[in-house]
Structure 1
């Protein structure tokens, strides 16, 4: 039986403290760790449940609050129009360098954690899928699970809306798992083809899965939730991390 402990750590960044929510399996020796990047709404109920499920499979899971320099620590944006508007506003206000610094801080924290094997992966959904991919550019992150990541194909993440994620993917050394909903309006087929072709052309270690599902099909609240596809997707993710992280 795996028993989980939940806590948080407030880590230092150059842009102020960043709260990181921790889901820790108890006992059983050292374990690999995952940085889990949330949607634009930060650490909501569905995100906490996904984090707990991953921890229950034997991973140390750390969920950073991505907008820590703009919102009070502990802020959760609602799944409504106001929450969506605020989350999208901040997505294009935060600097790319700040997103990357957050990754470096969390990765260093996990590598030094007494319960970690030293192996670190990243996982994310929506905005978090994009951040998980960027985490894969950090030398300590060796496996990336990205579910319906937004803004990669259009290179529009961050202040100035001009990120370099697609370009940096061309020389990435991490392993990637991409999972998409074919009915996702945020990443049309042309965008998916561009990302896939970039990975193929540059010999990146990746796998690719598409389902007849909407955006946010993993989120277990709201009309777009697809539990059947979600179960398959999570099973593939767990198999992938088991292969790449042990």
Structure 2
């Protein structure tokens, strides 16, 4: 798959991005893929290639660009290494709702200006913390998002004004949530709360719990589950085909 490495200018600096394209002639609908807590890395570039193969222009941003030239994490050991775990959580906390929304606007403007990308509204998808960002963006920049997905996303129901369940009445996009089992960051009770909020707001949505653990869709995560990952690709491509047509 062709890949374009570029930077997007935001109000806080220059964010490195990679844009993954299908083979052949476009333009194609654009999707922003938000990485998990480990940030943009080869695993997510491969996942973006996978999604691009289904007919989408997929942008993967470095959500930690404000940290400068940060050292990559080893997802196999990061939670066992006290210092690395602390660094990871510090970087996670740096991606505030306000920053995510400002950046998303810049990403969408970048996609809209690319000749390879069609349309003026886009898809968002994300994993772990990126799943939360995907839905936050759908509720904060609603006119730019037609389809929003979250896979094993955490914090979708939180005591925070930027919590996705509190933004439900602003969301115009269709929403898909593929949750993990036994996930303290998004419990069955949280799923019921989010479902109630989206239903009350008239948002077309699906919330499903997969029989796999947090991190199931990302190949370099320890809980990666091949069957659940395959199911997530089937769900993602069917959802985008319905709500972000090529």
Task: Map 1:125-140; keep pairs closer than 5 Å.
Answer: 125-137=127-139, 138=141, 139-140=143-144
Aligned to 1:86: 87
- How much has 1:192 moved relative to structure 2? 1.8
* Paired residues of 2:122 and 2:146 also in contact (CA < 8 A): yes
Distance, in Å, in 2 between the alignment partners of 1:107 and 1:41 is 23
Aligned to 1:38: 35
* Paired residues of 1:155 and 1:165 also in contact (CA < 8 A): no
Mapped pair 1:184 → 2:183: yes
Give unmatched runs, 5+ long, in structure 1. 157-161
- Classify the secondary structure of the residue corresponding to 2:94: coil
* Paired residues of 1:38 and 1:125 also in contact (CA < 8 A): yes
The number of aligned residues is 237
Task: Map 1:86-235; keep pairs closer than 5 Å.
Answer: 86-118=87-119, 119-137=121-139, 138=141, 139-155=143-159, 163-235=162-234
Q: Deviations over 1:136-190 (max 9, x none)?
A: 132111101111211121245xxxxx53432111231111111111222322222
Distance, in Å, in 2 between the alignment partners of 1:115 and 1:78 is 33
Q: CA RMSD in A?
A: 1.8
Q: Structure 1 residues 66, 222: closer, same or farther in 2, change over 3 A?
A: closer
* Paired residues of 2:97 and 2:133 also in contact (CA < 8 A): no
* Paired residues of 1:183 and 1:212 also in contact (CA < 8 A): no
Q: Deviations over 1:171-224 (max 9, x none)?
A: 311111111112223222222221122112222111121111100100112431
Aligned to 1:77: 73
Give unmatched runs, 5+ long, in structure 2. none
Distance, in Å, in 2 between the alignment partners of 1:224 and 1:201 is 34
- How much has 1:53 moved relative to structure 2? 0.3
Q: Structure 1 residues 219, 40: closer, same or farther in 2, change over 3 A?
A: same
TM-score calculated relative to the size of structure 1: 0.89
Distance, in Å, in 1 between the alignment partners of 2:73 and 2:203 is 35
Q: Structure 1 residues 28, 181: closer, same or farther in 2, change over 3 A?
A: same
Moved more, 19-28 or 62-71: 19-28
Q: Structure 1 residues 164, 186: closer, same or farther in 2, change over 3 A?
A: closer
* Paired residues of 1:23 and 1:52 also in contact (CA < 8 A): yes
TM-score calculated relative to the size of structure 2: 0.89
